[in-house]
Amino acid sequence: MRRAQRIGIFSLVMTLFVAACAGPQAPSGQEPGAADREPTTPRRITAAILDEPTTLSQAINTAGTGSRRGVGEVEKIIHAGLTLMNSDGVLIAQLAEAVPSLENGMWTVHPDGRMETTWNIRDGVRWHDGTPLTTADLVFTADVVRDPDVAVSGHPAYKTMDAVTAVDDRTVTVSWKEAFIAADQLFSYEAALLLPKHLLEQTYLNEKAALLELPYWTTGFVGAGPFKLSEYVQSSHMIVQANEAYTLGRPKLDQITIRFIPDPNTMVANLLAGEVDVTLGRGLALDQAQQADDQWANGHLEASSANWIAHYVQQLTPNPPVLGDVRFRQALIHAMDRQAMSDQLQGGAAPIAHSYLYINAPEYQQVESQIVKYTYDPARAAQLVEQLGYAKQTDGFFADSAGQRLVIESRTNAGDDLKEKILLASNDAWQQIGIGVNTVIVPRQQSSDREFRATNPGMDLVRQPWDPLRFHSREIPNPDAQWRGDNRTRYSSPELDAAIDRYFTSIDRNERIQAIGQFVQNLSVNLPALGTIYPPEPIMISDRLVNVGAAKGQPLIGTADETWNVHLWDVK
């Protein structure tokens, strides 16, 4: 019966459509602002993330070479932005009175393409230490985030905006150099949450290099969200208490203990023992979650898909150089049996990732004809390698005219069971057709070395959500940028850059879809990244919890997850 229910869950997940770039509207179901309930007895739950966070800021967490799982979900528990993405992928007001839009007059576009957005902070918003949150904090946040010497966020909003002007303590006007479709997400989780000027300004002005080393980012975190930090023990756990003054109403729960459990088997054991009520963020492999679901009498599995897993191929300094030839990358993708990966590793629930754009996005059908799809064809793969001047030796492996064996490096970060299995399956497929593979599992500590990640000689298998900027040439890590940048392939294409820029600056939806089509076509033709599958991301939820569930829609601009409505979570 449980397996039938689970099949139904994944059938529903794979047929849901994504809400993209939607303007502010009433979300379905329960939403922030519900009537408060004064608890009569302490109501506590235990959550867990499959990692050990080193920061409680998702902007910092994702500003380097990799990210720790669960940080984003935890940050939404203890902090808040002017807006918030709900589980349907719709942007709603949180600390702001309203989401700027063309309809309400708070978002204006000038004939020359420049824009203005206006924000009004709700009356009475305070930081967890009781200090009023004002537009001075917004201006300070913009200054810090746009500072190239501080690796807080690389979100394009802070690069496109021109100036932030405080009209009064609660009203701010933002001017923009050009049109930008995600302007309504400024000062939110999507771009970078607000920074408390009264706690960080002195360090920023007097000792900028020490800013990100402050205890503020962990043990001393002060936010404005539904819960406030009361205890933080590195590599162990954190405890958060209900924020009585939360602007959308006191949370229904009194306390949440969030445990850091980096081992999947230990996580499952704690779920089955009733020690953990809900998992936060990705991490558990689908087969692990399914096994737990079968055994967990008091809980269940839910899932949504938000990322693709792909081999990102080094384009700037490939070694061997043949990796820079698109015919060789075509051979690599033809050699992978991606349907077998889905069947064997995900029970067939993960669609093949022919494109960076998720298959259930509404725009997918409109641009699908522009996507080049590569079938599983090992004979064709071997033929392409031969056309590049390689010949098989007596041992069955390809070598060049000088007898040098063809060997590539294929790596991924340690700690993600599914990625490691996909890596091994891919590497085996390539060896089956005669390509030697050096398999590298990068330790978690080394994965944060930006130069090491940027200069990998071959391929890096990663999970990534839809974000076209990750393929823009200005995001290529290099020494001048201190190896910062999200373009892991280091691929550069003027045509692709132009499509990405049009996507982010086209207010008209049809123009934006045209840009998406050009973008996905370029990637599928040139193959800087070799897509494998779109894996469902499982979370485990105790049956005693109320108002907790996986996100139903994944917008093209933004992130939806289970903690968006944490102030409404409750227990039966």
Question: At 444, which CATH number?
Answer: 3.10.105.10
Domain around 112: 2-300+540-571
Residue 407: per-residue pLDDT = 98
Residue 556: per-residue pLDDT = 60
Q: Tell me the mean pLDDT in the region 239-245.
A: 97
Residue 154: per-residue pLDDT = 66
Confidence of residue 27 (pLDDT cuts 50, 70, 90): very low
Confidence of residue 53 (pLDDT cuts 50, 70, 90): confident
List, for residues 269-302, the tens digit of each pLDDT value. 999 999 999 999 877 888 888 889 999 999 999 9
Confidence of residue 521 (pLDDT cuts 50, 70, 90): very high
Claim to verify: residue 529 and residue 549 sit in the same structural domain: no
Claim to verify: residue 229 and residue 355 sit in the same structural domain: no
Least confident span in 38-47, 68-77, 537-546: 38-47
Count of structural domains within the chain: 2
Residue 65: per-residue pLDDT = 52
What angle do the packed helices 326-335 and 417-432 form, to 10 degrees? Answer: 110
The whole-angstrom separation of Cα 113 and Cα 9 is: 44
Claim to verify: residue 381 and residue 447 sit in the same structural domain: yes
Claim to verify: residue 424 and residue 546 sit in the same structural domain: no
The whole-angstrom separation of Cα 29 and Cα 32 is: 10
Least confident span in 41-45, 241-245, 478-482: 478-482
Q: Tell me the mean pLDDT in the region 303-309.
A: 82
Claim to verify: residue 82 and residue 107 sit in the same structural domain: yes
- Could you tell me which residues come within 8 angstroms of residue 194 by beta carbon, excluding any fewer than 6 positions away? 79, 81, 82, 95, 133, 137, 138, 141, 187, 224
Angle among Cα 554, 464, 526 to the nearest 5 degrees reads 110
| pTM score of the predicted model | 0.78
List strands edge to edge, sheet with 255-260. 227-233, 237-242, 255-260, 44-49, 278-280, 537-542, 299-304
Claim to verify: residue 140 and residue 204 sit in the same structural domain: yes
List, for residues 367-405, the tens digit of each pLDDT value. 999 999 999 999 999 999 999 999 999 999 999 999 999
513 secondary structure, DSSP code: H
119 pLDDT higher than 60: yes
Confidence of residue 63 (pLDDT cuts 50, 70, 90): low
Claim to verify: residue 180 and residue 237 sit in the same structural domain: yes
The whole-angstrom separation of Cα 364 and Cα 373 is: 14
Confidence of residue 8 (pLDDT cuts 50, 70, 90): very low
Q: Tell me the mean pLDDT in the region 214-230.
A: 96
Claim to verify: residue 55 and residue 124 sit in the same structural domain: yes
List, for residues 169-220, the tens digit of each pLDDT value. 999 999 999 889 889 999 998 788 899 999 999 999 999 989 989 999 999 9
Confidence of residue 24 (pLDDT cuts 50, 70, 90): very low
Which 3 state secondary structure label does DSSP give 21?
coil
Claim to verify: residue 447 and residue 510 sit in the same structural domain: yes
Claim to verify: residue 245 and residue 340 sit in the same structural domain: no
List, for residues 317-327, the tens digit of each pLDDT value. 999 999 999 99
**In CATH, what number is assigned to the domain containing residue 169?**
3.40.190.10
373-to-172, 338, 508 alpha-carbon distances in Å: 47, 12, 28
Kindly tell me the burial class for residue 415, based on how many C-beta atoms sit within 10 Å of its own C-beta (0-12, 13-18, 19 or more): buried
Residue 559: per-residue pLDDT = 64
- Find the largest Cα–Cα distance for the chain: 79
28 secondary structure, DSSP code: S
Instruction: Give the type of residue at 233.
Output: V
235 pLDDT higher than 60: yes
DSSP string of 256-291?
EEEEE---HHHHHHHHHTTS-SEEESS-S-HHHHHH
Residue 32: per-residue pLDDT = 46
pLDDT cut 90: percent of the chain above it:
67
Residue 15: per-residue pLDDT = 39
Q: Tell me the mean pLDDT in the region 151-168.
A: 84
Claim to verify: residue 427 and residue 562 sit in the same structural domain: no
Highest mean pLDDT out of 7-21, 462-476, 550-564: 462-476
Q: Tell me the mean pLDDT in the region 555-560.
A: 61
Claim to verify: residue 292 and residue 321 sit in the same structural domain: no
